[in-house]
Chains A and B, each alone.
Chain A
Amino acid sequence: MASQAPVTNSIGLALNDYKGAVSTLCAGCGHDAITGQIVRAFFQRGVDPQRVAKFSGIGCSSKTPAYFLNRAHGINSVHGRMPSVATGALLANRELIGIGVSGDGDTASIGMGQFVHMVRRNVPLIYIIENNGVYGLTKGQFSATADMGSTLKTGVVNDLPPVDLCSLAIELGASFVARSFSGDPKQLAALLEAAIAHKGTAVLDVISPCVTFNNHEGSTKSYTYAKQHEIPLHEIGFVPAYEAIETDYEPGETQIVEMHDGSKITLKKLERDYDPSDRLGALTTLRQTRDEGLFLTGLFYVNPEQEDFTTMLKLHETPLAHLQEEALRPGPEVLSAIMQGLA
Chain B
Amino acid sequence: MTVSVQPEAKLSKQEPLVNDFSIEVATVNGSGSQSANNILMRAIFQMGIPVSGKNLFPSNIAGLPTWFTIRANHNGYIARKADSEIVIAMNPETLQADVQKLRPGAVLIYNSDLKVTVDRDDLTVLAVPFGKLATEACSEVKLRKLVTNMVYVGVVAQILGIDMAEVEKAVQRQFKGKEKAVELNLGAVKVGAAWAQENVSAAIPYRLERMDATKGKIIIEGNRAAAIGCLFGGCTVVAWYPITPSSSLCENLIGYLSKHRVKDGKASFAVVQAEDELASAGMVVGAGWAGARAMTATSGPGISLMAEFVGYAYFTEIPGVFFDVQRTGPSTGLPTRTMQGDLLSLHTLSHGDTRHPVLIPGTPQEAYEDAMHSFDLAERLQTPVFVAMDLDLGMNNWMTEPFTYPEKGFDRGKVLDAEALDQVAEFARYQEVDGDGIPYRTLPGTPHPKAAYFTRGSGHDAHARYSERPEDYTFIVDRLARKLYMARVMVPQPVVDWRDAEITLLAYGTSDAAVLEARDQLAEQGIATNYVRVRALPLHPDVHDRIAQSSRVYVVDQNRDGQMLELLRLDLYADQITKLRSIRHYNGLPLDALTVTKGVLEMENA
Q: Which residues on A are within 8 Å of B, measured CB to CB?
A: 48-51, 53-55, 65-66, 70-78, 81, 83-93, 95-96, 113-114, 116-117, 121, 310, 313-317, 319-325, 327-330, 332, 334-336, 338-339, 342-343
Contacts and interface: CB of A to CB of B under 8 A. Distances in A.
* B260, B282, B412, B458: residue with the most chain A Cβ atoms closer than 10 Å: B282
25 contacts: A50-B448, A51-B445, A66-B466, A72-B444, A73-B453, A73-B454, A77-B286, A81-B278, A81-B282, A84-B239, A84-B281, A84-B282, A84-B283, A84-B286, A88-B289, A89-B289, A92-B236, A93-B443, A113-B276, A316-B263, A316-B266, A321-B445, A329-B234, A334-B260, A335-B405
B147 interface: no
Nearest to A50: B447
A74 B454 CA distance: 5
B275 interface: yes
A9 B239 CA distance: 39
A84 B278 contact: yes
B267 A92 contact: no
Interface string B440-473: 0011111111011111111000000010000000
A23 B267 CA distance: 41
B452 A71 contact: yes
A313 B279 contact: no
A93 B286 contact: no
A317 B425 CA distance: 33
Given A66-B466, A113-B276, A314-B265, A76 B454 contact: yes
A195 B283 CA distance: 23
A92 B448 contact: no
B525 interface: no
Contacts of B312: 77-78
Contacts of A72: 444, 452
Interface stretch (B113-121, B213-221, B328-336): B213-221
Interface in B197-243: 216-220, 228, 231-237, 239
Interface of B: 216-220, 228, 231-237, 239, 256, 260-263, 265-272, 274-276, 278-294, 308-309, 312, 316, 402-403, 405-406, 409-410, 412, 442-449, 451-458, 466
Nearest to B401: A339
A229 B302 CA distance: 46
* A84, A314, A330, A335: residue with the most chain B Cβ atoms closer than 10 Å: A84
A116 B276 CA distance: 12
A-B CB proximity, top 8 nearest: A88-B286, A84-B282, A321-B291, A328-B234, A92-B292, A73-B444, A88-B283, A88-B287
B451 A335 contact: no
A317 B269 CA distance: 11
A117 B454 contact: no
Contacts of A78: 282, 308-309, 312, 457
Contact of A85 (B235, B272, B289, B291): B289
B242 to A, nearest CB: 15
Nearest to A334: B260
B454 A89 contact: no
B409 A92 contact: no
A298 B568 CA distance: 62
Nearest to B284: A88
Contacts of A89: 286-287, 289-290, 444
Given A66-B466, A93-B445, A113-B276, A328 B268 contact: yes
B279 A81 contact: yes
A321 B236 contact: yes
B286 A86 contact: yes
B482 to A, nearest CB: 24
A81 B448 CA distance: 29
A330 B261 CA distance: 8
Given A73-B452, A329-B410, A343-B218, A96 B239 contact: no
B290 A93 contact: yes
Contacts of B232: 329-330, 335
A113 B447 CA distance: 34
Contact of B237 (A83, A85, A91): A91
A329 B234 CA distance: 6
B352 to A, nearest CB: 14
Contacts of B260: 330, 334
Contacts of A317: 266
Nearest to A73: B444
Nearest to B259: A334
Given A76-B456, A81-B279, 4 more contacts: A72-B452, A75-B289, A316-B266, A320-B270
B285 to A, nearest CB: 6
Given A323-B268, A327-B268, A343-B218, A84 B279 contact: yes
A116 B260 CA distance: 32
* B239, B262, B269, B446: residue with the most chain A Cβ atoms closer than 10 Å: B269
A321 B457 contact: no
A73 B403 contact: no
B448 A316 contact: no
Contacts of A342: 218-220, 402
Given A50-B452, A51-B445, A93-B445, A85 B285 contact: yes
B454 A88 contact: no
A92 B291 CA distance: 7
Nearest to A54: B454
A147 B479 CA distance: 48
A159 B217 CA distance: 68
A88 B239 contact: yes
A155 B239 CA distance: 45
Contacts of B316: 75
Nearest to A317: B266
Contacts of B291: 92-93, 319, 321-322
Nearest to B418: A50
Nearest to B272: A87
A316 B409 contact: no
A337 B442 CA distance: 38
B236 A339 contact: no
B286 A87 contact: yes
Given A84-B283, A89-B290, A92-B291, A339 B410 contact: no
Given A73-B445, A330-B261, A88 B282 contact: yes
B444 A91 contact: no
Contacts of A74: 452, 454-455
Contacts of A55: 286
Given A330-B260, A342-B219, A92 B287 contact: yes
Nearest to B404: A335
B197 to A, nearest CB: 31
A323 B286 contact: no
A83 B280 CA distance: 11
B283 A85 contact: yes
Contacts of A70: 452, 454
A39 to B, nearest CB: 15
A113 B276 CA distance: 9
A71 B268 CA distance: 28
A91 B283 contact: yes
Nearest to B318: A75
B282 A91 contact: no
B309 A321 contact: no
B307 to A, nearest CB: 11
A86 B266 CA distance: 22
A278 B287 CA distance: 35
A320 B265 contact: no
A50 B278 contact: no
Contacts of B403: 335, 339
